[in-house]
């Protein structure tokens, strides 16, 4: 593809923080850093500094490229630009060069949350639902319905509010929250997923959980009990990111998808190292810094029965390039409300414009 022009600006994300937006040949992209971040993620730079540095080398990026050669040039300058700029540049190139495919992901949608995404009693960062619908428009409508019913089923005498991802939260126990969503999911032909974000709960060798301090053995048993009690389909970062053996322990004792986010950080080398510890992996563009890194993780995991999950981050913009990337994976986590609706509606639009669209086959 011929890159004819590049423009970069600073915009505000969903929490009002500055982030970079890049445009290549009129196709724009932005992807803010997250609130809950792992220790193995690449480092972004302050947007103004990154853009100023890019101006000194911008001419190198004008000309004929494919995704790999464009991303290779970005990675050569990763320390100068930081992932806060390489990511939207790579995603803008991907968007400009995107070819519609007819396979679409099944959807994970965050409807109730806590942890670092909210100031509430809930330790679980995200309680997600996965509709069994076989068409994107039906799945999106189901997500909207479940999100609304979740709000309606929080006891009236308990104040409720929204998390950073526009999921509901309230000062109730993990168990109460799980029971609310489990009941609604069952009535709406959906399954449950969780993002525990366990590294955020781990302090001085113990996990903080519902007012208790659990050791490793106790916490693993707690995770197993939750998986079995609520027939959990998917559980992300169920243990501390520095404990790969604990991931493997859960994977070998349940039928749930044990998903690594902080453990892998969309890093192919780490995925190869810990491939036997998980059976699902999160794909976040700014963790890799470039789209090529994401595609490498998707390709490698797909060949080894590890389910890739393309994901947004808790801080958002209205940009929907991540929805295009999501069509390359069988499962995607794009939100349920607020800014997430832009990403979901983008998938609906793509579905309706596709001649023979189909959902990726997974056992739900």
Question: Is 153 a residue whose pLDDT tops 90?
Answer: yes
Helix (H, G, I), strand (E, B) or coil at 66: coil
The CATH superfamily of 2-96 is Enolase-like, N-terminal domain (3.30.390.10)
Residue 197: pLDDT band by 50, 70, 90 thresholds?
very high
As a whole-number percent, the residues of the chain with pLDDT over 70 amount to: 96
CB 105 within 8 A of CB 308: no
For residue 131, what are its two tokens? 């509709």
Distances (CA, A) of 187 to 112, 149, 195, 298, 340: 17, 11, 22, 33, 23
Q: Across residues 264-273, what is the average pLDDT?
A: 97
Question: Is 339 a residue whose pLDDT tops 60?
Answer: yes
Which is more confidently placed, 211 or 126?
126
Residue 164: pLDDT band by 50, 70, 90 thresholds?
confident
For residue 2, what are its two tokens? 């011929």
Q: Across residues 234-259, what is the average pLDDT?
A: 97
Rounded Cα gap, residues 194 and 244, in angstroms: 18
CB 14 within 8 A of CB 317: yes
In 10 A of CB 8, how many CB atoms?
Answer: 20
Residue 24 burial (CB < 10 Å; 0-12/13-18/19+)?
A: buried
CB 95 within 8 A of CB 67: no
What CATH code is assigned to 103-359? 3.20.20.120
pTM: 0.94
Question: Is 334 a residue whose pLDDT tops 90?
Answer: yes
Question: Is 323 a residue whose pLDDT tops 70?
Answer: yes
pLDDT of residue 121: 73
Which is more confidently placed, 198 or 117?
198
Count of residues in the chain: 364
Domain spans, the chain: 2-96, 103-359
Output the CA torsion sign for 298, 333, 107, 21: negative
């Amino acid at each position: 593809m011929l890159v004819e022009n590049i423009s970069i600006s600073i915009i505000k994300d969903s929490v009002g923080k500055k982030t970079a937006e890049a445009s290549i040949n009129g196709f724009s992209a932005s992807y803010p850093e997250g609130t809950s971040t792992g220790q193995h993620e690449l480092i972004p730079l302050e947007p103004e500094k990154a853009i100023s540095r890019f101006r000194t080398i911008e001419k190198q990026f004008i000309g004929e490229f494919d995704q790999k050669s464009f991303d290779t040039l970005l990675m050569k300058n990763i320390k100068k630009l930081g992932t806060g700029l390489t990511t939207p540049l790579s995603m803008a190139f991907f968007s400009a060069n995107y070819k519609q495919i007819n396979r679409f992901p099944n959807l994970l949608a965050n409807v109730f949350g806590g942890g670092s995404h909210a100031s509430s009693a809930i330790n679980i960062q995200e309680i997600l639902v996965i509709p069994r619908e076989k068409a994107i428009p039906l799945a999106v409508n189901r997500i909207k319905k479940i999100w609304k019913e979740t709000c309606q089923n929080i006891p009236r005498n308990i104040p409720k509010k929204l998390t950073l991802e526009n999921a509901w939260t309230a000062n109730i126990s993990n168990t109460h929250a799980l029971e609310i969503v489990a009941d609604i999911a069952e009535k709406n032909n959906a399954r449950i997923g969780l993002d525990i974000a366990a590294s955020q709960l781990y302090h001085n060798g113990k996990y903080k959980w519902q007012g208790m301090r659990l050791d490793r053995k106790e916490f693993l048993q707690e995770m197993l009990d939750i998986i079995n009690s609520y027939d959990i389909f998917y559980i992300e970062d169920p243990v501390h990111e520095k404990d790969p053996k604990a991931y493997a322990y859960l994977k070998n004792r349940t039928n749930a998808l044990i998903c690594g986010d902080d453990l892998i950080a969309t890093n192919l080398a780490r995925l190869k190292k810990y491939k036997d510890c998980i059976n699902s992996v999160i794909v976040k563009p700014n963790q890799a810094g470039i789209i090529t890194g994401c595609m490498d993780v998707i390709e490698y995991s797909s060949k080894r029965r590890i389910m890739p999950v393309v994901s947004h981050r808790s801080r958002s913009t209205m940009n929907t390039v991540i929805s295009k990337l999501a069509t390359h994976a069988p499962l995607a986590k794009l939100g349920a409300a607020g800014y997430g609706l832009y990403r979901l509606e983008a998938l609906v639009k793509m579905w309706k414009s596709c001649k023979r669209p189909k959902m990726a086959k997974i056992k739900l």
